């Protein structure tokens, strides 16, 4: 049994378990062997001074839902792709949009935005007034420019 | 990488890519050895836009996610938003939502069936499917004045009540559609080319499907009896009788058959909905127009609903303000598409087109 920090109940009636970053992988492995075979959703929530990463776990057989949360100050969390392959794209998306690095992920690249994009849009301190233009260099690699004249 | 292999770029502008899917394939002759989907060409970050609008404003971004079955997206968002704000819809509005969402599911499956026929080289069923879909869109036009991006529902109810004309139109549709559906069905299953391109192609096993988070008709075609309408009933889905079609084959044909059976079950639900539709108010007075932007929400809520593509989840984190703090969308096709590299390993290039078509891709939802 892996240590947890706290346990509570959400508005939707689902159990919320808060674990520490170090205990995340052993805890998730235990959940996987307990029959939670479907990782429904990975969400990162920017809380301004720290980031919450929320995992919605689901057991197909028992139709049971559990929400697992970790809180990270330096926005680095171990990847669970090795336990549930469905985390692969979800974690890439959260890295792209919120800027959480998932350590041990096989392909930690942006999924929606071009690789050279500056900043992570779902961060609360993201500057929306700066317009970024995407262009392509001669090798076919994209790059971002802040000048409308260079982009298209 | 073998030096005999050639790299091939497919899409994003290609008729059989259902929008803007781009695939980087490594081919050994005509057989795909590696495949990598590249997405994001339709990305507009609806989740960020939702953080900037009032709860009632955000509905329009959800219409534009799965634009072929928009009503199901609205149901999904409102399931979460209404619980956060504490304004439950009255019974009549809930039944109206059930009826409209099922009509929308049929419309979405008809688009899929027509487009899938085109993928496999059949032109005729496309016109049959779209002619029937047009009747559903006419009902939507009567209900809210818009065909596709309907914005029909609102927080605490629906925008406009059902009148006698709409109910008569739905009844007419229920009368004529079953016969047409069988006609369309026969156009596919009595076609040898269609059968030979779908039977035994793209077989997806139960365990792989669950591990990759595949849901909806794709999962049910692999033999898992999982439907959110039954597993965690929302609206009035616990008060109607319907069956969950499943198949154990897991191939393209199984997905086709499951979707067609789902349309027949949707017709049953609509019929029961019309019988049970009560009289009464169609919106919650707490959410009337002048009050809508003053509603405040607190806490966090994850609502899951069954859209035409699979489990559609909306996770809202609220901080007590008039706008949501964070909105996260679980789009079913995003997860279903991630199975494509697995399914199309060591298959012919032409079969890969048949497999990607059977996933039912809608890019408004994948890229969000």
CATH of residue B251: 1.10.645.10
Helix axes B252-276, B91-119, angle to 10 degrees: 150
CB B25 within 8 A of CB B7: yes
| pLDDT score at B175 | 92
Q: Which of B85, B108, B89, B63 is nearest to B236 (CA)?
A: B89
The answer to whether residues A19 and A79 belong to one domain is yes
pTM: 0.90
Q: Which of B80, B38, B115 is nearest to B358 (CA)?
A: B115
Residue A1 within any structural domain of the chain = no
| pLDDT score at A151 | 62
Q: CATH no. for residue A44?
A: 3.30.460.80
Q: B66 pLDDT band (50/70/90 cuts)?
A: confident
**CB contacts, 8 Å: A88 with chain B:** 338
Q: B176 pLDDT band (50/70/90 cuts)?
A: very high
Q: In this complex, do A11 and B301 lie within 8 Å of one another by their Cβ atoms? A: yes
Q: A140 pLDDT band (50/70/90 cuts)?
A: confident
B1 pLDDT more than 70: no
| pLDDT score at A135 | 82
Closest chain B C-alpha to A10 CA, distance in angstroms: 7
User: What φ, ψ does residue B103 adopt, rounded to 5°?
Assistant: -60, -40
- Using CB atoms within 10 Å of the CB of residue B18, give its burial: 0 to 12 exposed, 13 to 18 middle, 19+ buried: buried
Q: A152 pLDDT band (50/70/90 cuts)?
A: low
The answer to whether residues A29 and A16 belong to one domain is yes
Residue of B nearest to A67 (CA): B302
Taking CB atoms and an 8 Å cut-off, how many pairs form between chains A and B? 82
- Residue in B83, B211, B301 closest to A37 by CB: B211
Number of C-alpha atoms within 13 angstroms, CB side, residue A31? 27
CA B9, B13, B15, B16 torsion: positive or negative? positive
**CB contacts, 8 Å: B303 with chain A:** 12
Q: Which of A41, A39, A16 is nearest to A94 (CA)?
A: A41
The answer to whether residues A61 and A133 belong to one domain is no
**CB contacts, 8 Å: B300 with chain A:** 10-12
Burial state string for B114-137 with b = 16 or more CB within 10 A and e = fewer than 16: bbbbebbebeebbebbbebbebbb
Rg (CA), chain B: 21
A37 pLDDT more than 70: yes
Number of folded domains that form chain B: 1
What average pLDDT does the segment B272-281 reach? 88
Number of folded domains that form chain A: 2
The answer to whether residues A105 and A117 belong to one domain is no
B288 pLDDT more than 80: no
| pLDDT score at A10 | 75
Residue B18 within any structural domain of the chain = no
How far apart CA B340 and CA B315 sit, in angstroms, is 26
Q: In this complex, do A89 and B338 lie within 8 Å of one another by their Cβ atoms? A: yes
| pLDDT score at B345 | 86
Q: Which residue has the higher pLDDT, B69 or A11?
A: B69
Q: In this complex, do A37 and B43 lie within 8 Å of one another by their Cβ atoms? A: no
B229 pLDDT more than 80: yes
What average pLDDT does the segment A45-67 reach? 88
How far apart CA A29 and CA A25 sit, in angstroms, is 6
Average pLDDT, chain A: 86
Average pLDDT, chain B: 88
Structural domain boundaries, residue A131: 113-152
How far apart CA B46 and CA B79 sit, in angstroms, is 18
């Amino acid at each position: 049994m892996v240590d947890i920090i706290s346990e509570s109940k959400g508005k939707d009636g689902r159990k919320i378990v808060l674990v520490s970053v170090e205990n995340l992988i052993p805890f998730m492995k235990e959940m996987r062997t307990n029959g939670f075979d479907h990782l429904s959703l990975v969400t990162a929530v920017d809380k301004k001074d720290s980031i919450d990463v929320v995992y919605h776990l689901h057991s197909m057989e028992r139709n049971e839902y559990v929400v697992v949360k970790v809180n990270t100050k330096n926005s680095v969390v171990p990847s669970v792709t090795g336990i549930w392959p469905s985390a692969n794209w979800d974690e890439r998306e959260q890295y792209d949009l919120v800027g959480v690095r998932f350590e041990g992920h096989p392909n930690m690249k942006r999924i929606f935005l071009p690789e050279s994009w500056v900043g992570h849009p779902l961060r609360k301190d993201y500057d929306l007034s700066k317009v970024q233009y995407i262009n392509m260099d001669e090798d076919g690699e994209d790059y971002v420019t802040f000048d409308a004249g260079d982009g298209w | 990488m073998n030096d005999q292999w050639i790299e091939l770029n497919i899409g994003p502008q290609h008729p059989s890519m259902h929008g803007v899917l781009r695939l980087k394939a490594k081919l050994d002759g005509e057989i795909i050895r590696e495949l990598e989907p590249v997405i994001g060409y339709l990305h507009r970050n609806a989740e960020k836009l939702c953080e900037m609008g009032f709860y009632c404003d955000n509905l329009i971004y959800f219409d534009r996610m799965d634009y072929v079955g928009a009503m199901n997206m609205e149901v999904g968002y409102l399931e979460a938003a209404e619980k956060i704000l504490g304004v439950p819809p009255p019974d009549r509005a809930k039944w109206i939502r059930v009826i409209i969402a099922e009509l929308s599911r049929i419309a979405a499956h008809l688009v899929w069936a027509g487009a899938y026929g085109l993928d496999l080289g059949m032109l005729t069923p496309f016109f049959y499917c779209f002619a029937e879909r047009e009747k559903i869109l006419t009902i939507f036009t009567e209900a809210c004045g818009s065909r596709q991006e309907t914005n029909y529902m609102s927080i605490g109810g629906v925008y406009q009540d059902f009148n006698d004309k709409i109910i008569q139109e739905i009844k007419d549709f229920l009368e004529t559609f079953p016969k047409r559906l069988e006609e369309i069905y026969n156009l596919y299953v009595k076609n040898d080319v269609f059968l030979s391109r779908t039977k035994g192609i793209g077989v997806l096993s139960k365990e792989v499907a669950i591990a990759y988070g595949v849901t909806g008709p794709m999962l049910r075609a692999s033999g898992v009896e999982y439907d959110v309408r039954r597993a965690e009933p929302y609206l009035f889905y616990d008060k109607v009788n319907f069956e969950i079609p499943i198949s154990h084959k897991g191939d393209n044909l199984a997905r086709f058959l499951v979707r067609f059976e789902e349309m027949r079950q949707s017709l049953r639900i609509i019929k029961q909905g019309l019988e049970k539709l009560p009289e009464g108010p169609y919106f919650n007075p707490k959410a009337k127009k002048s009050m809508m932007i003053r509603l405040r929400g607190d806490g966090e809520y994850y609502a899951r609903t069954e859209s035409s593509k699979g489990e559609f989840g909306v996770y809202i984190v609220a901080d007590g303000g008039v706008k949501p703090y964070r909105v996260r969308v679980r789009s079913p096709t995003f997860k279903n598409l991630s199975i494509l590299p697995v399914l199309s390993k060591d298959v012919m290039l032409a079969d890969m087109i048949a497999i990607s078509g059977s996933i039912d891709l809608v890019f408004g939802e994948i890229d969000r």
